Amino acid sequence: MVKWTWAALLLAGAALGQTSSTVAVLAGFDATPAPGVLGAMQTELRSLFTPAGLSLEWYALEAPAFLGRPDAVVAVRFTGACRWDWVSPPLPVAGVLAWTARIDGQLQPLVTVDCARISAFVDAPSEALLGRALARVVAHELYHYLTRQVTHTHSALNRLSVRPRDLLAPAAHFDAAELAALKKGSA
Ligand SMILES: [Zn+2]
């Protein structure tokens, strides 16, 4: 019994080693984000990408530390204030919430996320929910870059015209095809 347990543990470790990839995220903020928003965003992103075998590691864009040997590096610039303000009235929102740079049609590891626009778009009732909404927008852009796909589907995370409820609903996840594309893209 003891031998079997050790064998099972070793096999599990080997499987994890084969499927786990690391993405270094270099995050830059125009304004210091609220800790509650940032924490909720990182927690949501971890739960979205872990099933794809992807581990996101966070670094400051302005002063990146030694990155180790990540499988991918992506810079994410957050414009506007990533803060929840309960007194801010809902604003009319026009334009995209985030975008990934392209040069000659090729996706670049440069994502811009408009915090102010997302905040106005979802009108989140708390810091935690604003963080969740930001995470899903970031996840959408990371998916584009990591899979090198510019097309969209009708899934909650990969649709072209995202709705506030897609960003705030309690549970969201990449579907099986998306997880497969992420695993393939980061292999
Ligand atoms: Zn898109």
Mean pLDDT of all residues belonging to the chain: 86
Instruction: Write out pLDDT tens, residues 15-39.
Output: 444 458 999 999 999 999 999 999 9
Q: What is the pLDDT of residue 89?
A: 60
Span from the CA of 145 to the centroid of ligand 1 (angstroms): 10
Q: What is the pLDDT of residue 27?
A: 96
Query: Which range is least confidently modeled, 2-11, 68-77, 103-112, 147-156?
Result: 2-11
> What residue spans define the domains of the chain?
21-186
In whole angstroms, what is the distance from residue 25 CA to residue 139 CA? Answer: 12
Please answer whether residues 76 and 27 qualify as being in contact, where contact means their C-beta atoms are separated by less than 8 angstroms: yes
Question: pTM value?
Answer: 0.86
What SS3 state is found at 175? coil
The pLDDT of 75-96, averaged and rounded, is 79
Q: What is the pLDDT of residue 81?
A: 86
Q: What is the pLDDT of residue 182?
A: 94
Instruction: Write out pLDDT tens, residues 41-76.
Output: 999 999 999 999 999 999 999 886 788 899 999 999
Q: What is the pLDDT of residue 92?
A: 64
In whole angstroms, what is the distance from residue 59 CA to residue 43 CA? Answer: 15
Neighbouring CB atoms inside 10 A of 18's CB total 10
Kindly state the tokens that stand for 162: 């995202």
CATH match for 21-186 among 3.60.15.10, 3.40.390.10, 3.20.20.70, 3.40.50.920:
3.40.390.10
Span from the CA of 94 to the centroid of ligand 1 (angstroms): 16
Span from the CA of 53 to the centroid of ligand 1 (angstroms): 22
Span from the CA of 54 to the centroid of ligand 1 (angstroms): 20
In whole angstroms, what is the distance from residue 106 CA to residue 150 CA? Answer: 9
Span from the CA of 13 to the centroid of ligand 1 (angstroms): 35
Span from the CA of 83 to the centroid of ligand 1 (angstroms): 23
Instruction: Write out pLDDT tens, residues 139-150.
Output: 999 999 999 999
Span from the CA of 168 to the centroid of ligand 1 (angstroms): 18
Please answer whether residues 93 and 43 qualify as being in contact, where contact means their C-beta atoms are separated by less than 8 angstroms: no
Q: What is the pLDDT of residue 21?
A: 94
Is residue 86 packed enough to be buried (19+ CB in 10 Å), middle (13-18) or exposed (0-12)?
Answer: exposed
Span from the CA of 141 to the centroid of ligand 1 (angstroms): 6
Span from the CA of 12 to the centroid of ligand 1 (angstroms): 35
Q: What is the pLDDT of residue 131?
A: 97
Span from the CA of 14 to the centroid of ligand 1 (angstroms): 34
| Dihedral in degrees, nearest 10, Cα atoms 38, 29, 72, 20 | -10
Span from the CA of 99 to the centroid of ligand 1 (angstroms): 7
Kindly state the tokens that stand for 113: 């996320």
Q: How confident is the model at residue 183 (pLDDT cuts 50, 70, 90)?
A: very high
Q: What is the pLDDT of residue 19?
A: 58
